[in-house]
Every structure is written in C-alpha cells, then in structure tokens.
Copies of this chain bind each other. A is one copy, B any other.
Amino acid sequence: MQREDTERTEVDRNSGKPLMGVGKAGLKDSGKPDLLIVVLPYPCTCSMLFTQNHFKAGSVIYTQSLAKRSKKLSAFVVNSGNANCGTGREGVEHAKMMAQEVAKHLDLDHQEVAVFSTGIIGEPLPIERVLSAIGEAAKSLRSLDLREASEAISTTDSFPKYSIREKTFGFAKGAGMIHPSMATMLSFVFTEYESDYDTLHSLHRELVEESFNSISVDGCQSTNDSSLFVSLAKEETQKERLRDEAREVFLELAKKIVEDGEGATKLIKVIVKGAALKMKARKVAQSVATSLLVKTAVYGRDPNWGRILAAAGSTEFPIDPFSAKVYMGGHLLYDGKPNPKALAPAQDYLEKVKEVEILIDLQEGKESWTYYSSDIGYEYIRINAEYHT
C-alpha cells in the first residue's frame, strides 16, 4: 500500500531540539543514504526495548548492554542495508567501533551513544566504510527531519514512516516482521515532556504492548527490532498528556508498518471484546490476526468466519462456540450459529474497504484488545521465495 503525505515533516530548529546527519557507506544497492546520526540536545533520559529473539544482531547485543548501564543517551547512530546479525563476535566489536566513532567526532562519551542496524543478515559490516560515513554525517548536522530520518533508515519500506503530535513525535522503519533476510522494525520516539526514567520506561513498555507488539505481518520475529523512547525534558510533566500523545504516535507508527506489509492489499484490524481477562482478549486477537488462513481469506475477499473462529479457539483460553459472535465490518456472520444472510453484504464490504475490521465478541466479560495485521497473497510469496541470499 502506498500513501500520500502532506503533513509537516520538519521539526523547527530550536535550541534543545534533536539534530541529524546522514552519510553513505554504500550498504544499499540504490546508493541512497544508509547512515543516520541523531544528536540529542544533552544527555536525555531514554528508554530502550529490544527484540525478544535470542539470535540477536551484534548492534542489539551491544546497545542492550549499554542500556543496562546507562539511562541517558547523547546520540544514536543507525545503519541500514546491513543488519550486523549472524556476524559472530566481530559484529559486537563493530557496533562498539561505531559508537566510538560518533563519540570522537561529536566529543561525547561513547557510553552515551546507542547503535542500531537493519538490513541483510549474515554479511560482515564493511566497517571502514561505515566509520567514514559516520564522519560524513557528523560534519553535516542539521535539525531533525522525520521524513528524511525515516528514509535514511529504510530498507525495503515503500514509504517513510513518521508521526507528529503537539510535543511528541517519532519516526520508524519496517515492512514485514522480517524482510527477505532483512531485519526489521526500528522506532525512535521523542517527547518534550519531562519524565524520570522509571515513568518513561513503564509507559514505553505499556505502549509497545499496544502498538509494535500488537501487529503482525508474517508472525516471524526479527533479530534487530528496537524501540527507543526519549524525553527531551523541555516541558513540565503532564502524565496524561504525555501518555495520550505518545500512544497516538506509537500506534500511528505501528499501523504504518503493517500498512507497508510485504505484498499487503488490506490492513486487518482484529478487535476482541467481551473477554473475562485482558490477556485472553489479547491472545485470541493475536491468534486471529496472525492466522495464515484468515490472512489468505481476506486476500481472497472471503468473509470466512469459520477460519476466524478456528483461529480464535486455538489458544489456551476456552471460548464458547455457542455464544461467541463474529462481525465483519459490522455484519454479524456468526451468532452462536451461522448467519448466512450476512455473507453477501460482508463480501461487498471486503471488496470495498482498505481496512477490514473483524470483531469477535466472546460475551463473557468486559476486557478487550485490538491487534493489527495485513493480508497475505502471491506478492508475499514472490518477495520471500524469489529472493536469494
């Protein structure tokens, strides 16, 4: 899916705003910028979350160990086009060298520089070229432009991903949980509200659960996923405002990643309501959103409630097939038993809309959860089968 954007993308240059610089290390076939440095106005409180995958990129191993020691960052560097993953112990060394190179050029403590990578797995990083691109980027700092920043970290993304609210903004990349040997999602969100680390980190975890951890393109977990949440600390804390703005930014970035899912033709929004437990609502929503049979049914414009219920029933949480209801775009397809009259209007709905809403009402409690995914068709197979390492 392509999208048109006419939003404001450049954050005004002011003292206390982040700066950016880009460089080229020749990691992308397109020859476009593949190295981004973002410099924070001073050491800022920063929460970082990483992939749960145990096969982690060298950059993730390095930055995760950094995050354990320090809760402040002065800058971060991202290279795209090479995931620095599956590259042995050398990969961790390379990440450290990247942090040191940034620190050297900008006169910072290298322990306050985080490193992220995204791109192909298993190729050693051409470290000399990367270090020289860092020098190039450090010499051309200017105010952070979210669109350009997103473009510099993109791999096979088909459009840049960013989101702006009043005092909270961010950019991201990602198109499929793992691309053809490409890894995957990176997100960087900044808020001008002041926050101590514990508040920021706990809000970060909460928001990531609702956003990046509630989306799926192919159900595959990446080796490089990272999410950074920075408090630029210019405004007095307004906890509720911070939460509301940040929630909108995280959710917008997450939805854009799903929208850009490999070969996707439709966004799928799965809402589970009426659950006795929130965890149950979430597990059931996830099971439906990640079901290959549900995704191919949506691709084929088939309002197949049988596949939806089979997926909903496959978690460890019991559902009652005699009371559960399934709606598609408001059409009641199943009400403890089939409702064949709804099939034709639901199929019309599927043909027409870009975002397909599936609602499952378990009719047993008050908890709900929403999960986003995309359909899967021939193009996904083409992208993932015809690509060779």
Query: Interface of A with B (CB < 8 Å)?
Result: 52-56, 85-90, 121-123, 178, 181, 183, 218-223, 291-293, 296-297, 299-300, 302-307, 309-315, 317-322, 334, 336-338, 343, 376-378, 380-381, 384-389
Q: When chains A and B are docked, how far (Å) is the Cα of A305 from the Cα of B223?
A: 13
Complex contacts, A338 vs chain B, CB 8 Å: 86-88, 122-123
- Stoichiometry, copies per complex: 2
Docked complex Cα distance between A115 and B52 (Å): 44
Q: Please report the C-alpha to C-alpha distance between residue A220 and residue B294 in the assembled complex, in whole angstroms.
A: 10
A313 touching B384, Cβ below 8 Å: no
Using known A-B contacts A292-B292, A300-B386, A302-B388, determine if residue A223 contacts B310 with beta carbons closer than 8 Å: yes
A86 B309 Cβ-Cβ under 8 A = yes
Q: Are A306 and B86 in contact (CB under 8 A)?
A: yes
CB of A385, distance to nearest CB on chain B (Å)? 3
In the docked arrangement, what's the CA distance between A53 and B321, Å? 11
Nearest CB of chain B from residue A40's CB, rounded to whole Å: 31
The CA of A112 and the CA of B211, in the complex, are separated in Å by 52
Task: Please tell me which one of the listed residues B88, B221, B309 contacts residue A314 in the complex, with CB atoms under 8 A apart.
Answer: B221
Main secondary structure of the interface of A (DSSP, over half): loop
Interface residue from B222, B317, B343, B387 paired with A310 (Cβ < 8 Å)? B222
Are A321 and B54 within 8 A (Cβ)?
A: yes
Which among A90, A300, A336 has the highest number of chain B CB atoms within 10 Å?
A300
- A184 to chain B minimum Cβ distance, whole angstroms, is 9
Shortest Cβ distance from residue A117 to the other chain B in the assembled complex, whole angstroms:
14
Decide if B296 touches A384 in the complex (CB within 8 Å): yes
Give A90 to B299 CA distance when docked, in angstroms: 32
Task: Assess whether B55 is in contact with A299, with CB atoms less than 8 Å apart.
Answer: no
The distance from the CB of A365 to the nearest CB of chain B, in whole angstroms, is 16
Q: A293-B384, A321-B86 are in contact. Are A304 and B218 (CB under 8 A)?
A: no
Supposing A86-B338, A305-B122 touch, asked if A221 and B310 sit within 8 A by C-beta, the answer is yes
Given the interface contacts A292-B218, A296-B381, does A389 sit within 8 Å of B343 by beta carbon? Answer: yes
